[in-house]
Each structure stands twice: as C-alpha cells, then as structure tokens.
Amino acid sequence: MGSFSGDSAYSGLRFDPVLAINRLFRSEVPMIFRWTQQLIPTLREVPGEAEIPSHQWMLRAGLIRKLGAGLYTFLPLGLRSLRKVERIVREEMDRAGALEVLMPALQPPEIWQQSGRYKAAAEVLFKVEDRAGREWLLGPTHEEVITTLVANEINSYRQLPRNFYQIQVKFRDEIRPRFGLMRAKEFIMKDAYSFDATDEGATISYQKMYEAYTRIFQRCGLKTIVVEADTGVMGGKFSHEFVVPADTGEDEVAYTDSGRYAANLEKATSRGPVEPTPSVTTGPAPEKFATPGVTTIEDLAAEPHRVPAHQQIKTLVYIADGKTILALLRGDDQLNEAKFAAAAGTTLFRPATAEECHAALGAHPGSLGAVGVKNVTVLADTLLREARGMVTGANEDGYHLRHVDAARDLAITGWHDLRTVRADESSVETGEPLRIRRAIEVGHVFKLGTKYSEAMNARFLDTDGQQKPCIMGCYGIGVTRTLQAVIEQNWDANGILWPIAVAPVEVEALAINAQHAPSVEAVERVAAELSAAGIDVLLDDRDERAGVKFKDADFVGAPIRLSVGERSLAKGEVEIKLRRTGAVEFVPVADAVNRIRALVAEQWASLKEVGAVREQ
C-alpha cells in the first residue's frame, strides 16, 4: 500500500501537464470497466457475414452486432468509440463556430417536393405512412428542413452568417447495404449547413469547414486525402471529399504522387489520353462500308477492319428526363456518368434499351452513329473536337462509316468533358502521371449556392434593401463510417490498433493468473489509480487463462496493456506493452501509473502528426 501512496498526483489537486493534455481531448468521465460486468462478446472465429477486416474486427472484438442487413447495434465498447468520434466532431464544429441543433428524422414530403428532390432522390428515400395514410419520409439528409427553418427565422443580413449542424441518424434506402457500417440503411451522420449573405462569405464558411474536417480526421487518427469531387444530386458549385485510401473503398480517386492534384474519378480531368486522337482528314465525306457481325469497339479494332479504338467514335444513347440524348466519345474512352449528368443538366437518366436505340436511330447498338442525326441532343467529348478521319456506326446494322470528321459531319449540340480519365495520363496542372485507386469517402464539403434557399424561399434583406437568397454550403461526415474507417486503417493480424483518441479504453489491465491474489490486488490498485488519473481502463477480471485474456486484449485493441504476473511481481515489477508496436517494458509497480500516463500522453501527442495530407 505504501508503495503507491507517493503517487498522489492523480488526485488532480496539483497542476499536471500530462493530465492537462489529456483533458483537452477527454471524451468521458473516466472509470474502470470490468470485463465481467460488461458485454464484450469476442469471437474466436471469423464471422461469415463479414468480408473486410474492419467489419470482421468490429464483430470479433465485440463492438457491434447485426440486426439485419445494414442495421447494427452498438455494444458498450463500440459505443464508447463512437461517442469519442462524435465528441471530436462536436468540439471541432463548435470551435469553427457552428451551432448544434437537432432536427426531426421524420420529414413531410412537401418540402422535398418543394426542393425538387422528391423525385431526384426518390431512390434513397424511405417512405412511411401514418395511421391516416399520410406519407412521411425518414430523412436521408436535412437541407430541406434546415432551409425551411432559416426561411422562417432569418430575415436580415445582420443574422448572417450562420452555420447549423447536428449529429443524427440518417436513413437511406440503399440498394445494397455493405461492409457493416460502411454502407448502412441507417447510419449516424454529422451534417452542417452554412448560410451566408455574400459569395465571399460562403467561401469563408466553406474553408472553415474544410479546416475543421482536417482537424477532425487528424484527431481521430485517420489519414485522409482531400479530393475535388462532383456535386451529384446535391447540386451546387464545388466540393471536396475527404477520403481514406482503401482497396475496399467505393470511390475511385485520381491523384498525383506530389499530392498537387487529387480528384474523385467522377470529376478528374487530365491532359488527355496517351494515344493522340487522329486529326487528319482522310476523305471529303463519310463513306459507308460493310462490317457484318461487328458490334463492339473491339470487333472493329480486330481483323479484318483493324480500326484502332482511338480512331473510332463511340455513340451512346441515353434517356434523360424522357428525352433521347447521344453521348459521343473516343472509342477507347469510358463515359463518365457524373460528367454526363452535369452536361445533360439532369441526374435522371439511364442507358436506352436496344429497342429505343433502334427507334431513335434506325439501328441497334454496335452500329450506332451520329452522322446525319438531327433534332436530337448530341453531347460530344471535347477530345473529338479536332477528330478527323474517324470511324463510327452508320445507323444501319452491319455498316460503319469512315472518313468522319467530327466538326464537319456531326451536328453537335455541345462539347463537354465526358470521358473518364485513365491511369498514367498527365495531370493538367503539373503533367505528372495520374494514379488511380479506391478510397472510402468519410466526409464531404459542398458549396451549394442558392439552389435550396431559392426553392425554399430562404431570403434575407440585404444592406441595399433587396431580398436575396442565402448562399449555402453543406458539410457531411459519416460518423459511423469514420469509426469503421479508423479500424480499416488500423489493424494487424491480432486485432484492432486503435488510435488513442477513439479507442474504447486507453488501457487494458489484467492479472495473468487470476488465482494469484497479490497479482489481482496489484492490478486492481494500478487500474484504480489510472482511472483516478483520468485514464480509462478496461480491467479483464475474468478467471481465464492468460492466453485467453491476451488474445481478447489484442482484439479489443487498447493502445496500452498492463499485465501483472506472479513472476515479475515477485521482482516488484509489472509489464507494460504497446499494442501497436509490441514493445514491452517492465517497470516497478510503484512507477506503473506514471509510466502509463507518460505513454498515454505520448500517444495523444502523436495524433497531431497524422491527418489530412493535402492543404488547399
């Protein structure tokens, strides 16, 4: 007992820099979690339902359990980590001057009709009926709600700017929930909405969120990259995504090694394909030639025709808002649907069926072309602007046309960037080769403009006495997804390697032999002192063999493990092991608390060195 009494700094009565740093980031009132009083159902075997490491570890470490596809219960340990992420998000949003609110998850469909998204976002909307048969929506996001609020409550430029946020459950009728929390039907999101009087103000609001996001992910111990992104159904002017590179990600991003360019593949541009587009006229007019059985770009590139893909014009037929639209690309390019949506001015489009193609152009896919087509919107990729001597379908099954000069022979409605960039193309700014890889989107910032404020009538009276729509931004973080992304980025063969800021507990303590009273007594005492010092501890007090407790400790992944064994205790020592590095040290029992506090402080400090790698 006496050996611990000198260690009274944990009482908090004395200034203590370690404790001070710790408190800066502290998530919850510290306490000891006793394994035997908890629900921590670890799994020895890999559950069949989980495919990716983070999902497997969340189940195996006893953090979550599935109720149904895309529906998960957070168990106590998982919830602790989730709360820590939320806490970080709150602190940084508050720091950035955003105001926390809480909006209803259940929303009236009228406001969605008003914004035009009742149809535009119809696919993800959960609809429910009340007893009177009236329809309601389970909110997938809250632009309509917040803008309605602002329309009612904000009238003057004097009340601007304002930024409102909430942390709340969202519902999306995902076509296919996947990967545990990564894409769920129900998930927790932090969503924020800024309202400004001026465009410059809106840009400042945007930058504040950008900076807040950088700090948030850094504090979570998550390495993110920031990419330019498409605005999609959200509408708006520009946006950035915070993504976590991971092979299991659902986004594809293009970037350069220097980090000077990074963009979502939906948005990415380049100096063009490595193979230049033919630009020499080969004949005075298109000439039809027979191509029996040729229905693909590859067929035409092969014997006997041998027209390289990049010398072909690919003609795609889409039905957009009920109208037929042709999209023309170089034969070796893929249509970028996000770019197409922007060019077509709608997100409601689909590829035409073979029958619709025939009705519109007189031929089936494989023989389609735009030569001679009139009264149909034709969107062409800018690469084709100077294209000459090209080959394309003749709109007659089994025939193609050669000597096609795009500008001369095609009635183009508009030239747009429609192609998807490919790896190794040169970046526009620096000429560096583009890399492409998968990534998980964890945060997204949009500069929205006035789309919603105009639709919902959120206007303010400006200094000049004029009514003007608020200029909006919106900013989302997938909180539950972020939590899983942290795991996806921090695990090894034995379990989770939590960054300390979001670890369910900072320290796990155990007695190697639960039957050995002095060990148990020592570990209890150190755990109590750690807890009193503001460090949260999971005490594995089960009467299990050492191996079992070690395995579970590795699963759960507390950054620091304290083990008290009969042998070392005989020498007056305990063992401290770092989960991430595996480094082991033995320290005198009396020094254990101070040593662990120093290690905890070290780990908190190291969080400042990771984080978003790209500055605006």
- Residue of the chain from 28, 49, 135, 585 that contacts RNA (CB under 7 A): 49
- Residue of the chain from 555, 558, 596, 600 that contacts RNA (CB under 7 A): 555
- Residue of the chain from 28, 39, 51, 258 that contacts RNA (CB under 7 A): 51
CA angle, residues 462, 465, 470, in degrees to nearest 5: 30
Which one of 210-218, 404-412, 501-509, 563-571 is the stretch in contact with RNA (CB under 7 A)? 563-571
Least CB distance to RNA at residue 53 (A): 12
- Please identify, using beta-carbon distances, which residue of 265 and 391 lies nearer to RNA: 265
8 Å CB contact between 234 and 446: yes
8 Å CB contact between 439 and 225: yes
Note whether 578 binds RNA by CB under 7 A: no
Note whether 268 binds RNA by CB under 7 A: no
Least CB distance to RNA at residue 257 (A): 24
Note whether 581 binds RNA by CB under 7 A: no
Which one of 98-106, 111-119, 172-180, 400-408 is the stretch in contact with RNA (CB under 7 A)? 172-180
Least CB distance to RNA at residue 574 (A): 8
Distance of CA 79 to the CA centre of its chain: 20
Q: Please list every residue from 405 through 464 that binds RNA, using CB under 7 A.
A: 441-444
- Residue of the chain from 22, 42, 107, 395 that contacts RNA (CB under 7 A): 42
Note whether 69 binds RNA by CB under 7 A: yes
Asked if residue 304 has a cis previous peptide bond (ω within 30° of 0), the answer is: yes
8 Å CB contact between 455 and 115: yes
Give the residue among 263, 310, 244, 278 at the shortest CA–CA distance from 421: 263
Note whether 512 binds RNA by CB under 7 A: yes
Strand ranges inside 309-466, DSSP E:
313-320, 323-330, 349-351, 377-381, 390-393, 399-404, 414-416, 435-449, 459-461
- Please identify, using beta-carbon distances, which residue of 7 and 508 lies nearer to RNA: 508
Q: Please list every residue from 360 through 389 that binds RNA, using CB under 7 A.
A: none
Which residues have C-beta within 8 Å of that of residue 6, sequence separation ≥ 6?
A: 590
Which one of 27-35, 182-190, 195-203, 254-262 is the stretch in contact with RNA (CB under 7 A)? 182-190
The string of DSSP codes covering 164-183 is EEEEEEEE---SS-BTTTTB
Note whether 201 binds RNA by CB under 7 A: no
- Please identify, using beta-carbon distances, which residue of 67 and 302 lies nearer to RNA: 67
Which one of 8-16, 361-369, 454-462, 507-515 is the stretch in contact with RNA (CB under 7 A)? 507-515
Q: How many CA atoms lie within 13 A of 169 on its CB side?
A: 11
Note whether 550 binds RNA by CB under 7 A: yes
Note whether 227 binds RNA by CB under 7 A: no
Which one of 11-19, 366-374, 476-484, 598-606 is the stretch in contact with RNA (CB under 7 A)? 476-484
CA distance 189 to 124: 15
- Please identify, using beta-carbon distances, which residue of 47 and 276 lies nearer to RNA: 47
Q: Using CB under 7 A, count the residues that bind RNA.
A: 71
Q: Please list every residue from 285 through 344 that binds RNA, using CB under 7 A.
A: 337-338
The token duo for 268 is 């990415």
Binding mask 112-151 for RNA (x = CB under 7 A): -----------xx----------------x----------
Note whether 481 binds RNA by CB under 7 A: yes
Burial of 215 (0-12, 13-18, 19+ CB in 10 A): middle
The token duo for 80 is 């602790």
Main-chain phi, psi angles of 608, to 5 degrees: -75, -15
Sheet holding 126-129, edge to edge: 106-107, 135-138, 126-129
Which residues have C-beta within 8 Å of that of residue 268, sequence separation ≥ 6?
A: 228, 253, 254, 420, 421, 434
- Residue of the chain from 6, 17, 284, 547 that contacts RNA (CB under 7 A): 547
- Residue of the chain from 34, 237, 577, 595 that contacts RNA (CB under 7 A): 577
Note whether 526 binds RNA by CB under 7 A: no
CA distance 529 to 521: 12
Note whether 480 binds RNA by CB under 7 A: yes
- Residue of the chain from 117, 142, 162, 172 that contacts RNA (CB under 7 A): 172
8 Å CB contact between 352 and 318: yes
Which one of 41-49, 89-97, 326-334, 417-425 is the stretch in contact with RNA (CB under 7 A)? 41-49
Q: How many CA atoms lie within 13 A of 5 on its CB side?
A: 2
